[in-house]
A and B are shown apart, each in its own frame.
Chain A
Amino acid sequence: MIGAIKKAPLLAPLVLVMVVLAVSTDTFLTRGNLENVLVAAAILAVPGIAMTFCLAMGEFDLSIGSTVSLAGVACCSALIAGQPPAFSLLLALGVGALIGLANGVVITKLGVTPFIATLATMVIVRGASLAYTDGHDQIVSSPGLKYLVAGRPLGVPMPIVLAVVVTALAWWTINRTRFGRWVCAIGSNRDAARMSGLPVDRIRIAVYVLVGLSGGLWGLLISSQLQKGNGQLGLGFELDAITVVVLGGTALLGGRASIVGTVLGAVMIETIRNGLNLLNTPPAYQRISVGLLLIAALALLALRRRERRGAPRVLESAA
């Protein structure tokens, strides 16, 4: 029990926030509302988990928000063109993976710092999405696409099912498989990883592809909710995804990844957002509280780590 709390330091504050909301509103604990929160958290957690891999490796990807847009546009355009839903979904994921591949290749083969490379792809992909749609909505009405958010296999909303599966897979991958350990190894000591013969470049590319894929999935989920795709979707999503991971503590670890932390981070952010909406609070407070939460959570974590070992290892730059 104590071990669990130590591994997931967000748990206690999360429970606290939930208790406060349960007391201060009469609707927070209703089934519908909790489901809302969890579905929203699930949608945020999936890309957050992919981003966890990236941050565990000591890098991050700013292009995911644009990927959301382009993937959504790809899927919806394909549907409009009369392609079957299955193909359209795969196309969106393919677009995401391709963007990730481009990121990975530019970073590893051309030696551009991840920050700039993904910033550039962010701009380029957004541009591509806008150029392709020419600012028009790609409106669809597709039950197949809708199933991604509205489907309820075994009575559980589909995003939650997806998130649970992804979480389990990611946890297993990062903690128990070679690929996951290699990702952490690179984050822990890149030079050593090269020296001991790990295929560092391939792993890095794979991680960016993973983030791209998750961006594609995120775009599908958003397009599924809104039944459209356009060049404006996903603006600023990169910050959301990174925030979740940072909140989950992975950024402080460097070379370790906390999948559970990321998931809790997503739940935390969505709980606060939902709570403030239930309390009819202006959006300004929402930003402030997320910011304060980030700082507080990480300050606590840093403090605890400082007590345990010497200086905290810190992700100061993604160079």
Chain B
Amino acid sequence: MKKDVAVLGAGMTLFRRRLKETGKELSYLAAKQAMEEAGIQKDEIDMVVMGTAPDAFDGIHMKGENLLDGAAGANKPYVRVFNGGGTGVFAPIAGWWHVASGVADVCLVVCEEKMGSCYPHPQTAFRHIWDPILDRPLNPNLVWLFAMEMNRYMTVHNIKKEDIARIAVKNKRNAVGHPCAQLADPNITVDDVLNSEVMAWPVQRLDISPPSDGAAAIVYCSKDVVGKYTDDPIYVGGVGWNIDSTMWTNRDLYFPRYVALAAKMCYKMAGIHNPTKDIDFAEPYDPFDYKEAHHTEGLLLCKKGEAPLLTKEGVTARDGDLPICPSGGLLGVGNPIAATMGQKVCELYWQLAGKAGKRQIPGDPRVGVGQAWGDIMQMATVIALRRG
């Protein structure tokens, strides 16, 4: 790439089912926090990138336009990018190309989601993500989609439900140290997950991350000016993104090949030749517990079908060999679609900078990978951050 991109600061708001603040105000609270950590003012920001997922949640058409003043975008070049659930990592990728191309020196990335506006339940808006001709007449519920993918994954690899439930337990316990967390629970057990209400088998209530309101933000700058702000910068090592066919019923769902392709693109850019060795910790997207396993495999961090075993053996614990979702992930902290940048990218930064407080992973992590996944099980976005 042309110019190295450094992360200067990050911020995020509380994640809850419904927050009092408007989308603009949430964006402001997250952006301001990131700017304070980075030590910059609004007039130092050259450009702003907004990442926010479906308009149908906030209930505002062209909601990027509506949110822009809260993201410090007033009277600035401002653009919104979007690819469903993948936005949480895609917006920071877009921010990366603003700086890496040399067009901007300092770029603010804000992600916001307000799922609570959709009344009575965001499920109403999720209904409109399906194909209108083939799927919507069957009145599908979003959970079905993931239940079907989970079932395929479990059946092909012959994985036990309890091995997957362990992931939910790990993440909800990890989230205990996170001030924004919605569903942290220090005492949760595998039995709690297995005995929770069956929504759409094999998906049970505690396998799912909750819909939330929230926002997150990060500040980037180019290597040329980084000396002005910090002596110990964290850099973006590589980025990758990839999309599969709209026709989700035309492919085998047991392995996310698009995640693997995005990961390869990212690793190539970051000079990661041996992912299992070179990567110190990861934040794969975990809206459902099986998704963490699915994506760990997609990120080439283990062999196909082996990810649940890693958790069983304690490898993915915060003090394990390969900590996964040390933030608590979506399962523990909450799932405000795009604003999950807070767990998937901000967390990488805080961990690498040694600022994660109670959630800090031991040792001396140098490379972390974050990933998000979106659209109708077809989009993968991957980012790698490194220290020094």
Q: Do A and B come from one complex?
A: no
